[in-house]
Amino acid sequence: MEADGWQLVEDAEDADVAVVNTCGFVEAAKKDSVDALLEANDLKGHGRTQAVVAVGCMAERYGKELAEALPEADGVLGFDDYADISDRLQTILNGGIHASHTPRDRRKLLPISPAERQESAAAVALPGHGPADLPDGLAPASGPRAPLRRRLDGSPVASVKLASGCDRRCSFCAIPSFRGSFISRRPSDVLNETRWLAEQGVKEIMLVSENNTSYGKDLGDIRLLESLLPELAEVDGLERVRVSYLQPAEMRPGLIDVLTSTPKVAPYFDLSFQHSAPDVLRAMRRFGDTDRFLELLDTIRSKAPQAGVRSNFIVGFPGESASDLAELERFLIHARLDAIGVFGYSDEEGTEAAGYDGKLDEDVVAERLARVSRLAEELVSQRADERVGETVHVLVESVGEEDGVYGRAAHQAPETDGQVLLTSGEGLSVGRMVEAKVVGTEGVDLVAEPLFEGSPARIEEAGR
């Protein structure tokens, strides 16, 4: 868009067209997306804004249906429109009409065999998989290496897309149908984008996709992540590499070794357990049980005792019994997770589970959600207390005279896992990595004293 003469503005009221990136994952996220579209529509007539356009997963998932249900949106653009988005927006801005697409199952756009997908990928719209190089004149400092990307803030942390789509068939999840089959970005593209980000001042990258443990299977090497991580960690200027969303059923010894022993790679495990009762997991079309999951955590902590682990869980799944819920609670009590997300089950249209028998009443789901959420809050606070006395490496993310200095340790991912309040901000600035000793907690958050040269905490550490 920038190459075509468009300019990104800070304030939506200064925009000719407001483009709303929507989410189509769960009901609450879809509601937030609709609210954002309505909020953007309120700008029309009060400033420069003339049009509101929906893009993203909800726009892709519902297409024409969304356009008919939400006339406030002047356009609904699916993934296939992205390559020509500049022309699409100009047409809408000029008062023309762009016919919204009829949704289709995007899993059918690529071959079933992962090994055959890369050859076909060029003909399929894959958001985030665009050319690795910017047009001439748009790459600051980095020359032709810079990716087709613009940073929206000066944060020392940035996400980097590793892959998109998913080949798993979890019975509660609709994502594969509108995101498509799993396909990896090439390692060179991931490396080039990371180098560019480091040159822009980024100190930590977070690798994101629907399933990072599958990375490389369509490139002929299911262990490609194990070789890519050390290369990313060696990028000049980078202090930390973090991997999100790992499938427990796909964890392998080599990947655990790399995640727990590679300098600058955070020993961080965002493991998608979802439940631990065997019968519920089978109904979800997933694998594992409490004891196998605990064995996996024991293996991780035997290699990196301070490793961070987070996970999400669904309660109230169709057919979930009281004993199933008790089994999940047994797992949570013994797992010592740093962060826990708990969600109550709700039907997602187009999923297998939506047609299951054994649906629980909404009030039962709500009661179980409240019960497990209370337990989770207590457990993550206890886990934070266990870290008192540990030495952590904190990436400083905000420095304020009144609010204090905050950052995150290796076991804390951005926005989801808590943070660290540093007791002293002397000489600290955003983006600096500082060693600190944990001296207290505030719920899931930690309080830590920086180990500056000559500080009491440093002297105490040296004495040990």
Query: Maximum CA pair distance of the chain?
Result: 73
DSSP 254: H
Q: What ranges in 72-200 are assigned the alpha helix state H?
A: 85-93, 117-120, 175-179, 187-199
Q: What is the DSSP string of 133-153?
A: SPPTT--TTTGGG--S----S
Query: 247 in helix, strand or coil?
Result: coil
Q: Which residues belong to the annotated binding site? A: 166, 170, 173
Going by the annotation, the residues of the binding site for [4Fe-4S] cluster are 166, 170, 173
Concatenated DSSP letters of 351-370 = SSGGG-S-PPPHHHHHHHHH
- Reported as type and span, the H/E element at residue 257 is helix 253-261
- For the record, the structure tokens of 262 come out as 């590679």
User: Looking at 68-108, which runs of residues are DSSP E strands?
Assistant: 75-76
The contacts of residue 67 (CB under 8 Å, 6+ apart) are 73, 75, 76, 100
How many angstroms separate the Cα of 172 from the Cα of each of 68, 151, 297, 313, 352?
Answer: 26, 34, 25, 12, 7
CA–CA distance, 149 with 130 (Å, rounded to integer): 10
